[in-house]
C-alpha cells in the first residue's frame, strides 16, 4: 500500500490537471465552430442513426451565457459551478466506501491471508456487485476509445475505482480480476464450496489455447463497436449486468448456462472469455512487482499443479493469466512443502552433522 | 398540424415533440439561439395559435455534459412559466438496464417540475445508487439546458 499511494496520487493529480487543461480547449473549439447548423441537420441525426454527436456537429452556436441572465436569478445560481469541497462532500460516502474496500483487498493480498481474501470476495459481491454494480466493463473500453468518459469532477468515485484498477494492474498484475471484480469474486466463492469431485480440469493443451479466446472476443467486440458505434453488444459478452437483475430472457438463459458450466470448470469465464480480463492481461505485461521464483522452480511442479488459473508453465509465471490469488505464494512461504526451504534445511542439517562428526571422533 | 418557422419536422420528431408537450397543438421548426422548437396552443377566443412554450435537445444546449458513456440525448418541453411539460430520453449509451435512464420513471418525475427547483439527486430527483453517474449527469443536463433556454427566451413571472 505504501508503494501504491504516491503513484496513485500522482495519477489522480495528473488526471485533475488534464481535466483543467483540456476543459477550456474543448469549450473554445465548440465556440469556434459556430457555423450555424443547417436547420433540420439534427433531425437527420435522430435516434436511429448511430452517429454520435462529436463536438463539431453538436451545439450550434454556443454563445457565452449572461451570468445571471434574463432576470431569472435562480436561488442556487452559485451552485452552477460547485466548488471542490462541495463536490467532495457529495461524493464522500462513495469515495470512502471504495477506499475502505480497496484497503481490505490490499491487506488481504499483502498478508496472503485466505480468510481475509474470502471476506474481500464477499464484500465485493455485496458492495461492488449488488449495491453499486461497479465493475469494469467493455463499455469502459468503448468510452475510452470514443473519449466519452464521464465528467471527472462529478464521477470521482468511479475514477478512483478505474484508477485503482489500472494502477494495481501495472504494479502487481490482474489483482482486479482476483479480488475487486464482483463476478470474479462470485465464481471464486462458488469454487470454494463446490466439491472437488465435480470438477473437470481441461487438459493443459486445451487450457492454453482456450486462454486466447478472450483476446479474440476483446478484438471482435471492439471492432464491432468501432464499426457500428453500438455498445449494446456488452450484454452478450459479459455477465456483469446480472447484479442489476435486469436482462432479457435470452441473457438470463445465457447466464444460467455460464453459471452451470462454472460449477464444473472453475472460473471458466474469467480464464477463457472475459474481454476485460484480456484487456487487463495485456496491461499486466507491464507488471512491476512480479511473483518471486526460486531456482528450484525450474524442476518443481508443486505450484504449477496447485495453480487454479493455469498461470504457471514450468519455471515461468504467465502474468497475463495470473490474478494474484496467492495460492503459489502461500506455498512458497510453507517451509514444510516448498522444496526451496526443504533443500535449504537439508543442506544446513548436513552441514551441522558434518561439523558434529569430527567432534565426536575426537572425543575419547 | 400547422408547421411554422424554418426547419422541417418529420413524423417521428412530431410525435416526440407531442410527447414532451402534450397540450401543444403545433410546433415550429427548430430555430434561434439557443436552438429550440416553439410550441403553440390554439387560443380558444381568437382561434389563433399562441406561444405556449418551447422544446429543445439537451445535447444542443449542454453539449459538454457526459454520462457513464457519452452524452444522454433528451428532448425537453417547457412552458412559458418555466415548468417542464415532459421529457423524452431519446438516445443514451448507458449500460446495465437499471444502471441507466432507461426506466420510464426517470423521465416521468420531471414532468411538472419548475426550473426554480433545486434538481438535486437524492432530494427532489430520485437517486438510484447504482446509476449515480448517469442519473446525476442527466439531471444536470436537464436543469442546465432548461435554465439556459429560460434565461434567453423567457421573462420570469413578476411574482418571484
pLDDT digits (tens, 9 = 90+) for A32-43: 333 333 344 443
Contact criterion met (CB < 8 Å) for B65 and A151: yes
Contact criterion met (CB < 8 Å) for A39 and B31: yes
Do A188 and A337 fall within a single domain?
no
Distance CA A72, CA A74 (A): 6
Look at residues A274, A338, A340, A258 and name the one whose alpha carbon lies nearest to residue A309: A274
Chain A residue numbers with beta carbons less than 8 Å from the beta carbon of B30 are 39-40, 42-43
Do A307 and A245 fall within a single domain?
no
Q: What does residue A186 show for φ and ψ, rounded to 5 degrees?
A: -60, -50
- A349 touches B: beta carbon within 8 Å: no
Closest residue of B to A68, CA-based? Answer: B151
Give contacts of A 191-210 with B, CB under 8 A. none
Contacts with A251 (C-beta within 8 Å, 6 or more apart), sequence order:
A235, A236, A241
Do A331 and A224 fall within a single domain?
no
Assess contact for B5 and B63: CB atoms under 8 A.
no
Do A183 and A240 fall within a single domain?
yes
Q: What is the pLDDT along chain B (160 residues), one digit of tens a residue?
A: 444 445 567 888 999 999 999 999 999 989 888 899 999 998 878 878 889 999 999 999 998 888 887 889 999 999 999 999 999 998 887 776 556 777 888 899 999 999 988 898 888 988 876 777 888 899 999 999 999 999 888 887 754 4
Tell me if A258 is assigned to some domain.
Answer: yes
State which H helix or E strand residue B88 sits in: strand B84-91
Domain end point (choices A273, A289, A305): A289
Cell of B64: 459538454
Length of chain A: 364
pLDDT in tens, A245-296: 878 899 999 999 999 999 999 999 999 999 999 999 999 999 999 998 888 8
Tell me if A57 is assigned to some domain.
Answer: no
Cell of A80: 452552477
Using a cut of 0.90, tell me whether the model's pTM lies above it: no
Closest residue of B to A231, CA-based? Answer: B93
Reported ipTM:
0.74
Domain holding A342, by residue range, is 293-348
Pairing of strands B26-28, B3-4: parallel
Closest residue of B to A138, CA-based? Answer: B95
Do A328 and A262 fall within a single domain?
no
CA distance, residue A5 to nearest chain B CA (Å): 25
CA distance, residue A53 to nearest chain B CA (Å): 8
Amino acid at each position: 500500500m505504501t508503494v501504491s499511494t504516491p503513484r496513485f496520487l500522482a495519477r489522480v493529480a495528473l488526471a485533475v490537471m488534464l481535466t483543467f487543461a483540456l476543459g477550456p480547449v474543448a469549450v473554445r473549439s465548440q465556440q469556434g465552430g459556430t457555423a450555424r447548423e443547417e436547420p433540420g441537420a439534427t433531425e437527420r441525426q435522430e435516434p436511429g442513426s448511430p452517429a454520435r454527436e462529436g463536438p463539431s456537429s453538436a451545439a450550434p452556436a454556443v454563445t457565452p451565457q449572461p451570468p445571471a441572465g434574463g432576470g431569472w436569478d435562480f436561488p442556487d445560481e452559485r451552485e452552477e459551478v460547485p466548488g471542490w469541497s462541495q463536490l467532495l462532500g457529495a461524493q464522500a460516502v462513495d469515495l470512502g466506501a471504495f477506499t475502505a474496500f480497496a484497503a481490505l483487498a490490499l491487506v488481504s493480498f499483502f498478508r496472503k491471508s485466505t480468510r481475509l481474501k474470502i471476506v474481500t470476495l464477499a464484500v465485493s459481491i455485496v458492495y461492488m456487485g449488488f449495491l453499486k454494480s461497479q465493475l469494469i466493463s467493455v463499455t469502459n473500453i468503448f468510452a475510452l476509445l470514443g473519449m466519452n468518459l464521464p465528467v471527472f469532477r462529478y464521477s470521482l468515485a468511479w475514477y478512483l475505482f478505474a484508477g485503482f484498477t489500472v494502477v494495481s494492474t501495472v504494479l502487481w498484475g490482474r489483482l482486479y480480476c482476483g479480488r475487486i471484480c464482483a463476478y470474479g469474486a462470485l465464481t471464486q466463492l462458488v469454487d470454494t464450496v463446490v466439491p472437488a469431485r465435480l470438477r473437470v480440469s481441461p487438459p493443459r493443451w486445451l487450457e492454453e489455447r482456450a486462454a486466447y479466446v478472450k483476446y479474440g472476443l476483446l478484438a471482435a467486440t471492439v471492432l464491432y463497436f468501432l464499426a457500428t458505434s453500438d455498445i449494446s453488444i456488452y450484454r452478450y459478452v459479459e455477465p456483469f449486468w446480472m447484479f442489476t437483475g435486469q436482462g432479457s430472457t435470452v441473457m438470463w438463459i445465457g447466464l444460467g448456462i455460464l453459471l452451470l458450466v462454472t460449477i464444473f470448470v472453475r472460473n471458466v469465464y474469467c480464464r477463457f472469455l472475459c474481454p476485460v480480463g484480456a484487456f487487463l492481461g495485456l496491461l499486466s505485461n507491464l507488471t512491476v512487482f512480479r511473483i518471486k521464483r526460486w531456482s528450484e522452480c525450474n524442476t518443481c511442479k508443486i505450484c504449477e499443479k496447485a495453480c487454479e488459473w493455469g498461470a504457471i508453465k514450468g519455471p515461468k509465471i504467465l502474468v497475463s493469466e495470473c490474478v494474484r490469488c496467492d495460492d503459489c505464494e502461500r506455498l512458497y512461504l510453507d517451509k514444510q512443502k516448498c522444496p526451496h526451504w526443504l533443500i535449504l534445511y537439508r543442506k544446513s542439517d548436513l552441514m551441522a552433522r558434518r561439523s558434529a562428526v569430527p567432534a565426536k571422533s575426537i572425543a575419547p | 398540424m400547422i408547421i411554422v418557422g424554418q426547419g422541417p419536422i418529420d413524423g417521428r420528431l412530431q410525435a416526440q415533440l407531442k410527447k414532451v408537450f402534450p397540450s401543444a397543438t403545433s410546433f415550429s421548426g427548430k430555430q434561434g439561439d439557443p436552438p429550440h422548437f416553439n410550441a403553440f396552443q390554439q387560443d380558444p377566443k381568437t382561434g389563433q395559435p399562441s406561444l405556449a412554450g418551447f422544446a429543445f435537445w439537451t445535447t444542443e444546449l449542454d453539449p459538454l455534459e457526459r454520462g457513464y458513456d457519452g452524452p444522454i440525448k433528451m428532448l425537453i418541453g417547457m412552458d412559458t412559466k418555466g415548468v417542464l411539460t415532459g421529457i423524452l430520453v431519446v438516445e443514451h449509451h448507458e449500460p446495465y438496464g437499471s444502471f441507466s435512464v432507461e426506466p420510464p420513471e426517470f423521465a416521468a418525475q420531471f414532468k411538472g417540475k419548475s426550473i426554480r427547483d433545486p434538481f438535486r439527486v437524492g432530494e427532489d430527483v430520485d437517486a438510484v445508487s447504482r446509476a449515480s453517474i448517469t442519473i446525476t449527469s442527466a439531471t444536470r443536463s436537464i436543469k442546465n439546458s432548461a435554465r439556459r433556454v429560460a434565461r434567453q427566451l423567457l421573462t420570469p413571472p413578476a411574482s418571484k
